[in-house]
Structure 1
């Protein structure tokens, strides 16, 4: 299996595992969105909590130029370590939600 195919499978597995979790309150479902043609992968939350509509991304990941780009990570512990634990090297993961100048300032 080539690298990109492996990355796709890992991302889908990690997101699918998160989708099995149940929000602690409200009537909220978690939906996985996998677009392998464009290499876009997301976990969405949709429902109601305390009389208010809940909707939006919890996770949004793309694969581009051989890199796994985490555009948004709304999970408490973050998905980066899960991706690394499943075999995606750290040097192939980009945290796009952190401004580049800030990322280098913290190193």
Structure 2
């Protein structure tokens, strides 16, 4: 798939999650689509039980005709959503995982 198609799919998936209503608190979900730099995010902001809530729920970058999942804070993850919309698995990079297994100091 080309970058324009991947961009449309990413925006579709993030927009789906943005329509959800958080189960607690007064929390707003905002989409952030930067098509110039190919950066896409779902942000949360608001209050829950007297505490401020803010941060990324999803952060994706597009580069080299691949989707880089930089952060996926959704309960079941969004990888299957991307696959269901036709994105080949070799065009999805789980960038939040290290490329090489971490060596444990012992």
TM over 0.5: yes
Q: Which protein has the bigger helix share?
A: 1
Partner of 1:70: 69
Partner of 1:35: 34
Q: What are the within-5 Å matches in structure 2 for residues 64-103 of structure 1?
A: 64-102=63-101
Partner of 1:59: 58
How far off is 1:65 after superposition? Answer: 1.2
Cα deviation digits, residues 58-94 of structure 1 (max 9, x gap): 0000001111000000000100110111111100000
Three-state SS of the structure 1 residue aligned to 2:100 is helix
Name stretches of at least 5 consecutive residues in structure 1 with no aligned partner: 103-107
CA distance in 2, matches of 1:38, 1:81: 25
Three-state SS of the structure 1 residue aligned to 2:17 is helix
CA distance in 2, matches of 1:77, 1:87: 18
Partner of 1:26: 25
How far off is 1:51 after superposition? Answer: 0.3
CA distance in 1, matches of 2:65, 2:3: 7
Partner of 1:105: none
CA distance in 2, matches of 1:78, 1:70: 10
Name stretches of at least 5 consecutive residues in structure 2 with no aligned partner: 102-106
Question: RMSD over aligned Cα, in angstroms?
Answer: 1.3
